[in-house]
Structure 1
Amino acid sequence: MVELVLIDHVGHFGDGVALVDGKSIYVPYTLGGETVEVAPVAGHPDRRRLLAIERASPERIPPFCQHFGVCGGCAIQHWDAEPYRAWKRNLVVETLAQARLDGEVAPLIDAHGLGRRRITLHARMSTHDVLKVGFAAAGSHDIVPVDRCPILDPALSGALEAAWALAEPLTPTGKPLDIQITATEGGLDVDVRGSGPLPAKMIATLSRVAEQHRLARLTRHGELVLMREPPTIVIGTARVTLPPGSFLQATIVGEQTLAALVSEHCKRARHIADLFCGVGPFALRLAAKTRVSAFDSDAGAVAALQKAAMATSGLKPVKAEARDLFRRPLMPQELRDYDTIVFDPPRRGAEAQVRQLAVSKIPVVVAVSCNVATFARDARILVDGGYKLESVTPVDQFRHTPHVELVARFKR
């Protein structure tokens, strides 16, 4: 059944929200004030599919990507920059208010820079035995084949072609593949997952493809297939060789912006614990002035951080330790050695660790988050434990999506 609805506002996930019979109806790719024609979405009574825009918002702009509206990577390319930026900052303001958290929210910092430096492409065989390599479609598990993506850093040039070339010889396995590609100083670092065990002949074929596409390194489930150049990145004054499949901030400017905010909040620290440290985007910069102990469950990342710190002159002592902070958070007696804590957990937040921080005597806690909802939950625990939320700065490195990063400072 076709309906005509009025969009009231843009919701937290980037969909337009229409209020129909007292209920919220979600329509992707729409803006507040628009009248749109929609159709039901099977299995989702609160969602509608956009058919046509009867009356467009004056804030609507043409999307810049030919795949927008089909590819699930971007939710918002159709909104003018200023109202989009106001909406994204307000995601933080509203979520904190709902959690009864008082704290100044600074203006949104744009950190898109040159674009994304890492992507994960998916390779699947269609029902007609046609190979598709690309991104997941909006709202489904279908794959949208792509031969270009305008939000990528130019350093990822050749990434899409390499992914197609690697997927083609693996199609006889019949397995769905995930191909993670990261831009590094040495070139493209690629890790292929999902292929299962492969015969030596197939490994040799993949090695030839890697050589033809001048990949810095090709790994399969983290196991080395070929390395032409060490896949390194620069963090501060250190050079880090990435473990296969490493997590990095999505953009170079995003990492630099978050690190600058963290460093500013830690400028009087004498001994910092960097929790969920990864390969050291904060630790290796903070160590230019301060002693740092770094912790993360990823042993490969921790080893890469430690090796980089030892090879870099001029840094204060850095001690890196592999530790699962979800299962074994640092306890108050262990936290007594530090005067400042930095934590940057995955999207699920750091509830177990935060509960220990809340009963510690640490003077300053600096939180970095990629999920404002779990940040608000963790911040509420700290505030209830006697901390004051002094400031929150939202950072937009995932432009065109509802994802927002933030850096916050707490003082006991």
Structure 2
Amino acid sequence: MSRTVTLQIGHLGARGDGVSSLGDAPVFVPFTLPGEEATIVMDGRSASLLSISDPSADRVEPVCPHFGTCGGCALQHMALPAYRAWKASLFEKAFASRNLDTSAIKPAQFCEPHTRRRAVFSAIRTDAGVQLGFLQAGSNRVVDLRECHVISPAIDAGRPKLKALTAAFLPPAKTVHVTVNETVSGLDIAVDGKFTLGEGAKRRAADALSATNFVRLTVNGEIVLELKRPLVKFGDIAVSPPPGAFLQAVPAMEESMAALVCDHMAKSKRVADLYAGCGTFAVRIAKASTVHVVEADGAALRSLDRGVRDAGGFGLRQVTTEKRDLARRPLTAQELKPFDGVVFDPPRAGAEAQTREIAASTVQRVAAVSCNPETLARDLRILVDAGFRLRSVTPIDQFIWTPHLEAVALLDRLKSAKRHWSDL
């Protein structure tokens, strides 16, 4: 049974919601800021905001009319300086909880609006046409976007054509995911959902793609039509990513991350790049070091391998690849023996099993890239306990107005802590 209560907001939680309490239980109130008095509707443990009295000095007018309905952004109501200070504090809190040295945390780097080159939309075909956007928070309803201040201008401009394209073949009343990657060649479209594309629908889809400037359409893993080869640049090396490929969200932030990783690996003769994807870091590192790439996605590895072969005249060192699920079967300390440097960029769950093997190895330098402060702090604690020194952690915000935050952590092994797998 719902009830209306008024609460004082104490601080922001890790998801960007204002946090208060009711009795002994915490209450998370979206779209509120510390110091505000919020009148909310409680429905079980869920809180919905009704009104704010005495708004915070850090409250601003959101730039997007969809804010509060669209589930894409959580913090457009917060002034940029306060937002950036809060976001940078996420790593300080996570590191303090693991007794890690917070002085190693460097100033955060922040992306600008309209810079995200990768978007995963939801879409549904209705009697009124295709609705394309993001899901409403806590709902399966697609918010049909009229504008978006996060995605790149090219993706934003492509939305009307994307609606026309998907209208040609989507079945009615089925919500699907539409991944759009902006590449050097143009927009690469991958549609995934619980439907079968018949021959007639394939022809309609191919005809509709030909009327756009999109470069490729893939439906449920099958390439319907490729008008141009999609290409992304990792440094000066071009790679053609597989359909729907994971790419770092903002090119400028990728460049910053890659510079940190490559500078740290510069003295390593042999580097293992783990959870490597299409080679964001690997091909850049290969300018100076031999690289062994390990990744569970076979299509990503094939894209990387072709990119390396196509770049034969760019002076890359040897790059080898291995298809392997590192969460289930991490590289062991013995297998890591040939490498003096390791880079890893795992999913949000982190790389605990792999980190324990690195800790037990003779690896000298580690670059850990993460999108989750809590799991990164856990993994770094393992390495520090094994004798690694945490040199720096640089927060990288390429998910503006959300609670998501990347980081690049750089470590090297103290000479007095050098270990060998056979000693364990």
TM superposition shift of 1:277: 0.7
Change (3 A) 1:337 1:357: same
Q: 1:155 to 1:172 in 2, by over 3 A?
A: closer
Structure 1 residue 384: Cα displacement: 2.6
Question: Which runs of 5 or more residues in structure 1 are unaligned?
Answer: none
Residue aligning to 1:120: 120
After TM superposition, list the pairs within 5 Å mapping 1:11-410 onto structure 2.
Answer: 11-40=13-42, 42-43=43-44, 45=45, 47-103=46-102, 104-112=104-112, 114-124=114-124, 131-172=130-171, 174-312=173-311, 313-410=314-411
After superposition, the C-alpha distances for 1:72-110 in whole angstroms (9 at most, x for unaligned) are 100001111112111111110001111122241111111
Q: 1:30 to 1:232 in 2, by over 3 A?
A: same
Q: Contact 2:125–2:167 (CA<8 Å) still a contact in 1?
A: no
| Contact 1:39 1:48 survives alignment (8 Å) | yes
Aligned residue identity for 1:306: D
Report the Cα offset of residue 114 of structure 1.
4.5
**Partner residue, 1:8:** 10
Deviation at 1:162, TM superposition (A): 3.1
The residue identity in structure 1 corresponding to 2:23 is D
Query: Which has the higher mean CA deviation after the structures are superposed, 28-37 or 150-159?
Result: 150-159
- C-alpha distance in 2, partners of 1:362/1:198? 49
- Relative to structure 1, the CA distance from residue 157 to residue 27 in structure 2 (aligned partners, 3 Å threshold; closer, same or farther) is closer
Matched residue SS, 1:336 = coil
Alpha-carbon distance in structure 1 between the residues aligned to 2:161 and 2:247 = 20
**Cα distance in 2 between the residues matched to 1:296 and 1:94:** 31
Which whole-Å deviations, capped at 9, do the CAs of 1:273-304 have from their partners, x for residues lacking one?
11111111111111112211111011111111
Cα–Cα, structure 1 residues 172 and 113, in superposed 2: closer, same or farther, change >3 Å? Answer: closer
Alignment partners' CA distance in 2, 1:11 and 1:284: 38
2: CA distance between counterparts of 1:400 and 1:118? 16
> Which amino acid in 1 is paired with 2:225?
L
Matched AA of 2:336: L
Alignment partners' CA distance in 2, 1:143 and 1:361: 50
Query: In structure 1, what is the Cα distance between the partners aligned to 2:129 and 2:164?
Result: 14
Report the secondary structure of 2:334's partner residue.
helix
Residues 308-317 or 60-69, more deviating: 308-317
Q: Percent identity?
A: 39
Counterpart amino acid of 2:120? T
CA contact (8 A) 2:94 2:374 kept: yes
Alpha-carbon offset, residue 139 of structure 1? 2.1
User: Is the partner of 1:390 in helix, strand or coil?
Assistant: strand
Structure 1: distance between partners of 2:270 and 2:113: 32
For residues 160 and 365 of structure 1, what CA distance do their matches in structure 2 show? 41
Distance in structure 1 (CA, Å) of the matches to 2:211 and 2:221 = 21
Supply the AA of the counterpart residue of 2:8.
L
- C-alpha contact 1:390 1:409 (8 A) present in aligned 2: yes
The SS at the match of 2:367 is strand
Q: Tell me which amino acid in the other structure corresponds to 2:144.
A: P
Q: Deviations over 1:174-228 (max 9, x none)?
A: 4321111111111110011115322211100011111112210001122111111
Q: Note closer, same or farther for the CA distance 1:80–1:129 as it changes in structure 2 (3 Å cut).
A: closer
**1:98/1:224 CA distance change after superposition, 3 Å:** same
- Once residues 329 and 194 of structure 2 are traced to their aligned partners in structure 1, the CA distance between those partners, rounded to angstroms, is 33
SS at match of 2:93: helix
Contact 1:275 1:343 in 2 (8 A): yes
Structure 1 match to 2:419: none
3-state SS in 1 of match to 2:335: helix
Matched to 2:227, the amino acid is R
Separation in structure 2 between the aligned mates of residue 186 and residue 27 of structure 1, nearest angstrom: 43
The amino acid that maps onto 1:318 is V
Give the Cα separation in 1 of the matches to 2:172 and 2:114. 36
**Distance (whole Å) between structure 1 residues aligned to residue 203 and residue 147 of structure 2:** 28
**CA contact under 8 A between 1:112 and 1:251: conserved in structure 2?**
no
Aligned 8 A contact 1:112 1:398 in 2: no
Gaps of 5+ in 2: 414-424
Which residue identity does 2:109 align to in structure 1?
Answer: I
SS of structure 2 residue aligned to 1:332: coil
For the residues of structure 2 that align with 1:13 and 1:5, how far apart are their CA atoms?
A: 19
Q: RMSD value over aligned CA atoms? A: 1.8
1:129 shift after superposition: 8.2
Q: Is contact 2:114-2:149 (8 Å) kept?
A: no
- Whether the 8 Å contact between 1:291 and 1:318 is mirrored in structure 2 is yes
Q: Which amino acid aligns with 1:69?
A: G
Shift of 1:34: 0.9
CA contact (8 A) 1:113 1:251 kept: no
